[in-house]
Structure 1
């Protein structure tokens, strides 16, 4: 009888152990399923935030300095936070990187599997990437014919312009700091300073000109005085 009681006690302990293990396994499974469900539910919110960043970049012609700027400017209502923490933004070339320190590495790994383009880096951060909008990249790459008052750099060259022997026609005003040319045909021009080894000019109108070390205006006045004296001398019958 005592042996039978001992067997019943052992069987009861084994049954309780199996039941406890089953409960623990069920709890772990349910917790994992809940986390996966939350990750799936967070997917549209995460994609909405990434789309808002791209749209902000396109409209403002710059990436946001913080995610709160998306809220203040009305691009999103709230920042996606899979767990408590602060997103860190880093701009690299034409890509904006978002990093959120992971409080639970397993949760971060599962979240990265749910959000396209996300991954967990070596410092245990969930990272997302937003690339510069293609439209904006193309706008910045080409020189525009029309004026964009919000982006004056669209009408500015970033490299030297090589015409490859072709003419530049119908130019209005040409403003330059320095002009180097082998030959030039100019109907009318205004220069602050001209330096030339040789020049052939039909008519020259200058307020101040110097030839060598002599002032052209003073020379012209002196020539005029000599001419008047010569004419006076001729009128008096002298200077033969």
Structure 2
């Protein structure tokens, strides 16, 4: 199983067409939201174990960036997004095979440095003057969720930077470049003791719904459908629950 960060469609095509060889093992290219990194790496390993000779290549990044790459012709077989509006762009462009299915939900949490030295206790605290806040960009699912949280708290948030993926937001909090960031519950859990989490109460923490679908024109349609089924099935759901994702309602 290979994992890579987001690449432009042209770069992906160049990398793939630049490699040649006869009777190569099938490669299944799964484009997945950055917040799914750890879980999809584990699910990809399970898939490879059950499909001899198949290699899963994970392309991870912000959902909107990944959707744009697929729309530009990047060779994707499966797409798993962090929200339904982003998945809707693929459906509108006839790039989805079948109906996307929601496989998990994820809620927001505030990530802070261990010990919470900035004393952040609520979303309202994120509007405090002088606090270095980092958010996902508005077009990214975690950014849209952050905007909903701000509206629910009745505050205007002014981040020092806006990132293209939730992993980038988390990275800035971990490195000390930011005092706080709005990420997902699963990101805080996966970071272990590198960050601490502050709960976002409902309705601000309203969960994102994660859909998955095989991509139209996939070179491996049967494998793409099988990967989707694994994510939706008991083994995939076990991995997702262990990482803190909630089941689809």
Q: 1 or 2 for the larger relative contact order (CA 8 Å, sep ≥6)? A: 2
> What TM-score do you get using the length of structure 2 for normalisation?
0.20
TM-score (norm 1): 0.21
Which structure has the bigger radius of gyration? 1
